[in-house]
Structure 1
Amino acid sequence: MTTLPAEFRSDVGTLWDYNQMHHTPRPVDVGIGLGGHDIGVATYAAELHHAGMFPLIVFTGANAPTTVERFPRGEANHFREHAIGLGVPAEAILVEPKATNTGDNIDFSRVLLDEHGLLGSISSVMLISRPYQQRRSYAICRKRWPGVDVTCGSLPLALDDYVASICDAERVMNMLVGDTQRVWVYPAKGWAIAQDVPAEVTAAYQRLVEAGFTRRLVTEG
């Protein structure tokens, strides 16, 4: 399934819009590209670097079962190679190859920056992620790195264009539902700051869960 089914289009669009922070890109000290299945993260990081938004990129990510076949040398390493292919100097990229979740992405990136003697000079970051990962990554970063100014960014694609780029509508829908649930589950576990969830978002989420898009849900409580 490479296009969104019409009967789910409205609810998917509601979650898509909610999970983005709608931040305007602006200059920051470092861009942190979060690993995953979407090579568009590295593409956008390269674009922003060329636009002068940050002098340094950290790509962070090991592998998940859903990415090991696509990125056998690890997500961060493949992202680095892609960005270099797009003209980013190798010396402008640091690689963190061990993180397996968003909390690790933040924590291990801080460790890496500290090892390079850079952490003390970092007051602002841009988290570059899949579009629907923005809100979750923002909330986790605010919790785990409270002193830093956080901006979120993703390759600017409309929903249908993004689904076409991934070539798997069902995967995108399951990921959207899972990321939405994490907005309230992670604060309850102490992993992220709390955020408001509008009633229309909760309703759209519930309808998609009832329709069977549950593969990325986590245990609540």
Structure 2
Amino acid sequence: MISTQAWADAQVLWDFQQMGHELRPCSVAIGLGSHDLGVADVTADLYHRGLTPLIVFTGATSRTTREAMPEGEAQHYRERALELGVPADAILVETQARNTGENIALSRALLEEHGVPVVSALLVSKPYEERRSYATACKIWPNVNWVSASASMTFVEYVDSIQDARLVIDMLVGAQQRLMVYPEQGFLISQEIPQPAIEAFERLRAEGFTTRLIPGRVS
């Protein structure tokens, strides 16, 4: 049973972790691998809307996806995009990345290998991963104009789509912790974090939403 306070705190983190960028045409769209095929749906939609001529799907597998996506996240995303009518020659696949930093670094290497000039990029993630993905991309590939994109859904709609509220809140808490501790480790750019988000994170952690936290960290 998830408490009313936990739902409210999760909403605070959900709202903070989205960037609210206005979508615009970009050199490429990079779909970040995860358990959520909705990322592939959003990326395909961006292509069909004429906002990008090229897609990169990036991702190996994780403990969350190894059973559901045995061929790798990027490959499953590609298959989904093909089902949605994106032509095969508009998709590149990067299959080795196991974290967001590798997603960006290996996608950059793949695009350079194919001679694709990149001035701007649509960074497609799960809704609650927008801010962390953006901060990582700005750190790893700083000379690109990044535009964050994700499914246009409310928190409740997203939980309903995943059918696992505790997993989603655990993911929100994990993403928030990384926004707080990764800048000092050089993994992403530092951003101002409002006090309500910090307090929401602390309450959720105290209530046991801890499966996605970095072990051994107090913040």
Q: Name the residue aligned to 1:211.
A: 207
- 1:20-60 Cα deviation digits (max 9, x unpaired): 00111111000000000000000000111000010000000
- In 1, Cα distance between the equivalents of 2:183 and 2:5? 31
- In 2, Cα distance between the equivalents of 1:56 and 1:111? 15
Q: Name the residue aligned to 1:53.
A: 51
Q: Which amino acid aligns with 1:186?
A: Y
Q: Name the residue aligned to 1:191.
A: 187
Q: Name the residue aligned to 2:35.
A: 37
Is 1:165 the counterpart of 2:161? The answer is yes
Is 1:122 the counterpart of 2:144? The answer is no
Structure 2 length normalisation: TM-score? Answer: 0.97
Q: Which amino acid aligns with 2:173?
A: V
- 1:127-149 Cα deviation digits (max 9, x unpaired): 10001111111111111101000
Quick one: which of 70, 73, 81 aligns to 2:71? 73
Quick one: which of 119, 124, 127 aligns to 1:131? 127
- In 2, Cα distance between the equivalents of 1:188 and 1:220? 13
Q: Which SS does the other structure have where 1:136 is aligned?
A: helix
Q: Which amino acid aligns with 1:145?
A: W
Is 1:11 the counterpart of 2:9? The answer is yes
**Which ranges of structure 2 fall in alignment gaps of 5 or more residues?**
none
Equivalences, count: 217
CA deviation after TM superposition for structure 1 residue 5, in Å: 4.6
- 1:69-108 Cα deviation digits (max 9, x unpaired): 1111100000000001000001000000000000000000
Q: Name the residue aligned to 1:174.
A: 170
Is 1:111 the counterpart of 2:88? The answer is no
- In 2, Cα distance between the equivalents of 1:5 and 1:20? 23
Identical amino acids, percent of aligned pairs? 50
- 1:173-219 Cα deviation digits (max 9, x unpaired): 00000000101211010111000000000000000000000111114
CA deviation after TM superposition for structure 1 residue 7, in Å: 3.4
Structure 1 length normalisation: TM-score? Answer: 0.96
**Which ranges of structure 1 fall in alignment gaps of 5 or more residues?**
none
Q: Name the residue aligned to 1:200.
A: 196
Q: Which amino acid aligns with 1:209?
A: R
- In 2, Cα distance between the equivalents of 1:23 and 1:211? 32
Q: Which amino acid aligns with 2:198?
A: T
Q: Name the residue aligned to 2:83.
A: 85
